[in-house]
Amino acid sequence: MDTLTNNNSRNGAGSTVGQNNDIYNIVLLIVDIVILVFKFWLTIIEETVKLFTTRPQANVSGQFVLITGAGHGMGKEMALQYAGIGAKVICWDINDQTNSQTVKEIKQAGGTAYGYVCNVVKREDIMELASRIRKEHGFVSVVVNNAGIMPCHPLLEHTEQETRLMYDINVLAHYWIIQAFLPDMIERNEGSIVALSSCAGLFGLANLVPYCGTKFAVRGYMAALAEELRQKNPQTNIKLTTIYPYMIDTGLCKNPRYRFPNAMKLISPKDAAASIIEAQRQGLEEAAIPRHFVAVEKLGRLIPRKAMRLVNDFLDTGVDTDKM
């Protein structure tokens, strides 16, 4: 009888403890929800205020900035402008002649630049050259994945070789370069990685099916990488910036089409480069050129697709085939 009484007492005590634990967990959950709601709206207010204020720009003077595709177009303009604000520019390009010209122009203007020939399709070349650069120059603070190609014709006219090369340069090369330089950034908990996507990574466009695929891929991997770094170190100081340029007047876009040329004309490489550098120095996660395109894309996803297609047809902006 005593044994039965003791067991009942223990069961009653255990039940009380369990109930107390349940109440405690519920209270904790409520507190967590309150904190979440507070932080959620505080963050929205802070980010909204930032939209109407000028963000401070990081100083890159004396830092090493590596740019792929530095021999021409936006890559060259970024190299010249980074050097103009005191950065030491490391120029990568597969074309030795044009890359050397970029380095020469930087030095003639009083800047510091170093040129290296690199085929970004070959991972082993990237890793070998990255090791050499660490030995010769030390830490690279900013890496700009800019090199890219843009064949413009219908999907059924793309060859296998052309499509594979596009993914090798526009996407896979980014992975290899990040794998080469990110470990040093993680060790020091500093640095910036800039990836050139495109407005073709925001909107699907005819005659650019594989190209759009590569640029959506850049957008996706940068978002995933940012989350991966944040989860490993919530206090990470490594900045990732994804850029979505509209059509740039570099010759890459051979047959642009627009109904309203004054409103949607090609952007000069000089203006595009300045916008990219500003976004990197401000630590923006995403930036379009022009800036409002990211907001337009997000708004467009809230509107029925058929309605957005009416707008697209009205604007009649895109790229015609380069196979005429």
Describe the crossing of helices 123-137 and 173-188 by its angle, rounded to 10 degrees: 30
Most confident of 124-128, 148-152, 204-208: 124-128
223-257: pLDDT as tens digits = 999 999 999 999 999 999 999 998 888 877 778 88
| Residue 293 maps to a domain | yes
Closest by CA position to 83, among listed 277, 287, 289: 277
User: Residue 157 is part of a domain; what is its CATH number?
Assistant: 3.40.50.720
pLDDT attached to residue 4? 42
- Segment (H or E) for 287: strand 286-289
| Residue 200 maps to a domain | yes
Q: Find the domain containing 120 and state its range.
A: 64-319
Report the alpha-carbon distance of residue 275 to residue 180 in Å, rounded: 26
| Residue 92 maps to a domain | yes
31-70: pLDDT as tens digits = 889 998 999 998 888 888 877 778 889 999 999 999 999 9
175 is catalytic: no
> Which DSSP symbol is given to 264?
S
- Please state the domain count of the chain: 1
Residue 90: pLDDT band with limits 50, 70, 90: very high
Single out the catalytic residue among 24, 167, 175, 211: 211
| Residue 38 maps to a domain | no
| Residue 268 maps to a domain | yes
Residue 22 reports pLDDT greater than 90: no
Q: Is the N-terminal amide bond of 290 cis, ω within 30° of 0? A: yes
pLDDT attached to residue 238? 97
pLDDT exceeding 90 applies to what percent of the chain? 65
Report the alpha-carbon distance of residue 250 to residue 95 in Å, rounded: 16
| Residue 19 maps to a domain | no
94: Cβ–Cβ under 8 A, 6 or more apart, which residues? 71, 117, 118, 119, 120, 147
| Residue 83 maps to a domain | yes
